[in-house]
A and B are shown apart, each in its own frame.
Chain A
């Protein structure tokens, strides 16, 4: 079964295993679903249910296991498994992260930061091109949520992203909440970041919850953690409005991966995103309005 292959016109939700059976049974009204292949590739029963849903919903694939930033290279066997899933589901978008998550044959199960310099740029660009060649379609790269940077960085993150596009022709998944989190943690202005984002290459937006906690590096200060364990914060909704005014509407997804709420709660967050989009569109219709 192939996914309904068209760009959705309203916000979607991240499909997690906890909601899978309920989604199949109730078919709630949401335009699209995004799934992590790492949750389905080794779970044939879940993959069967996903195939069933792909006949009803537009689907996008968001991988956390393709490690485009690893100096030791990307796992080509895994890439083949992703290709096979892409051929089966035909998602309307395929995305991953500007990060590294493997070391040799080890999967470190986290999105780890990269120094932004020419060496990393070369590694990332080669791997993105390899992924795009292998999948036969554009790959979307998500901007990271950062807790640390590197003194060896020589290129601002936003310029690093722009150069990736120039070298590979990839597209972007703009995670608005990651910009809020990173802006707070690394001390930059989130609105300026949006202003400089390579807008033409954006194909998707993410929104996810974050959790404030005490900064272990600076006593008394707060660090914001990209937990995807809470409702979308006011700061993210505000920046989302700002981003829509700058980028126009893009397929927007609500991510909630931990302390997963009821399906209606998740759908309610997607409805909130749609409400903001409608309000902004009524101010001045987007050039790219569906």
Chain B
């Protein structure tokens, strides 16, 4: 196993130093870059913290819809399997085969909420979702 500090620990402390030590000293014209770097690091931290849990949840919903077993999706194949099932979902959506299907809208909402939790959790709060 890898010892800590982990990648996540390093990114976190790097962002803290950036915000505490560097941002206040940056000239005005460079401040936007400092803020963007802090934002990028915070995004990466949240994605690492979430791990594969949201992807596995998405996969579980897709696999049950399309009658597939979860075993098809272990380890490195996770992204590939998700892409394949999502391409099938996209084809069904475009063809109108899922019009008015409430289970699909629930699935898409759940997937979107998980993604925004990583990209911009404040946005969810502004929409009343914790």
A and B from one complex: no
State the A residues within 8 Å of B (CB). none
